[in-house]
Amino acid sequence: MAKIDRAKTIYEAAIALPPERRTAFVEAQAGGDAELAAMVRDLIDATPSEGVTAIAPEPNASEDGTPAWPATARDGASEPVTLGPYRLLSKLGEGGFGVVWEAEQSAPVRRRVAVKIVKPGMDSASVVARFEAERQALAVMNHPCIAKVFDGGQTPDAQGARPYFVMELVRGDPITSFCDLNKLGLNERVDLMVRVCDAVQHAHTKGIIHRDLKPSNVLVQYQDGRPQPKVIDFGVAKAINQRLSEKTVFTDRGQMIGTPEYMSPEQAEMSGVDIDTRSDVYSLGVMLYELLTGALPFDSRSLRSAGFAEIQRIIREVEPPKPSTRLSGRSGEAPPERRGPINRDSATRTLRRDLDWVIMRCLEKSRDRRYETAKSLGEDLGRYLRHEPVQAGPPSVGYRTQKFLRRHRVGATLVSGVSLALVAGVIGTTWQWRQSERNRIEAERRLESIRGFSGDLLGALDRDLAGLPGGTGARRAAAEAAVQMLNELAEDEANASLIAIDLARAYRRASIIGAEGGAPLDQTVGRLREAISWAERAPLDASTNVELALAHASLGQRLI
């Protein structure tokens, strides 16, 4: 029995993967046990193809008039036609171990409901325990944005009793599809997520962590003229302060629970222990990212085509681009295509700052840096909608510098002397700057340090980097690193005007060095246009006029 249960557990994880990746996954999980691998492959081969709708036929009455089990349904699955007062009509969908049917309830009231039944042959102890846990999880919750559970029972003993439960029928679309199809604006999408956060917070107060929050598990439909979200499918939920089932639910070590695109770094560890409510906060952040940009933090095709260990590494270590950066296309990936009405340029400007800060706080690798609760996230989104300062705020300069150096090790090495001076200066002055009694003095020192760093970078381009090994290629890489570093510093509005003229010079010199190295014309022209844009933002003085004239002259030469 232990091997059978293990085979079904591996099957549940494998069936959620793309077909081309299942074989390698099964072999890895089986650990050389050929019999175990064969059992799992048999289960996968017996699984019907996705997208087939099964319509339950009319009941075959037995001699005593009791509805009998039908012959094989259209998709090959065998189910009872009726379960007490519930008559199954059509299959709505299925997961790793359960099938959901639309059904008609005849008593004590007539209504349409959803009935979820354990699949035939999947009624192992672990699956039944998890299924009963989901039923109990829904039963202890009472929130307008969480699907309600009405009833439960077992299928007829004659065919092998399997548990089922009856819940509210939700005829909505996944939240992302709903927003795009109904052309909801950015603020309407944020407002919708505020109510999703409230529902998840309700589950957390009941001691339930969802662990698989994603658009397909948040359905939305219009109710009384207003979009109404419903959180469904607590199938991999975890109880943090109560026992949800008489049977113990065991999570096998080494089994990935959840959906990789929406999975928190601690879930990707697959230890099965020490998962708390902040894991759901991470998933809410991914959904919000997708709702507002039309793209995921990590591209789904790239993620799922990677090896198992690489998926874990990406989730745990790789920093996703900010939403505004992803939407604008500055992340290096093509801007996402979207069906909604949001103008990309307008949305990019709106996302920058407040919503960037909120979402990136949700997506922190360290859960200690995320929002403590879903309620805190919802409250910060409410502040944004009311045009109040959000609590997320920008990360500290020292923290951003540390993250930057981790992302750009090669570029930082090219200007290591200068960047090390920046780290030392900024960390030291920022710490002192936070002391209220020296606020003004230390703020001035910090600005001087940034200006000095900017000037040092430009000087390095002209002097120190001229003799770098690799010639023009090395100078071009250094120029791009300088531009990128200055751009990140300029994200802070307090710094932007201060170093605008240096950014203009950096872009112009990057264009010149790029042209010497054979860079494409559109790239060198783009750098010069950026130089002009930044020069126009700088305080008007003689040096600014000179820089503007030089940039326009260089642009004219390129366009001749």
Task: List, by residue number, the catalytic residues.
Answer: 212
Within 10 A of 33 (CB to CB), how many other CB atoms are there? 15
C-alpha to C-alpha distance for 327 and 336, rounded to whole angstroms: 7
- Tell me if 362 sits within 8 A of 281, measured CB to CB: yes
CA–CA distances in Å: residue 89 to residues 237, 251, 336: 28, 34, 39
Helix (H) or strand (E) holding 238: strand 238-239
Q: Which residues of 421-430 are buried (b: 16+ CB within 10 A; e: fewer)?
A: ebbebbbebb
- Tell me if 219 sits within 8 A of 173, measured CB to CB: yes
- Tell me if 124 sits within 8 A of 8, measured CB to CB: yes
Helix (H) or strand (E) holding 228: strand 226-231
Nearest to 195 by CA among 221, 231, 222: 231
For residue 174, which phi and psi values (nearest 5 degrees)? -50, 145
For residue 168, which phi and psi values (nearest 5 degrees)? -55, 135
Length of the chain: 560
Tokens representing 412 are 């930082």
* CB-count exposure of residue 409 (10 Å: 0-12, 13-18, 19+): exposed
Q: Looking at this protein, which amino acid is placed at residue 305?
A: S
Q: How far is Cα of residue 315 from the mean position of the Cα atoms in its chain?
A: 10
C-alpha to C-alpha distance for 254 and 233, rounded to whole angstroms: 22
Q: Is 150 left (phi over 0), alpha (psi -120 to 50) or beta?
A: alpha
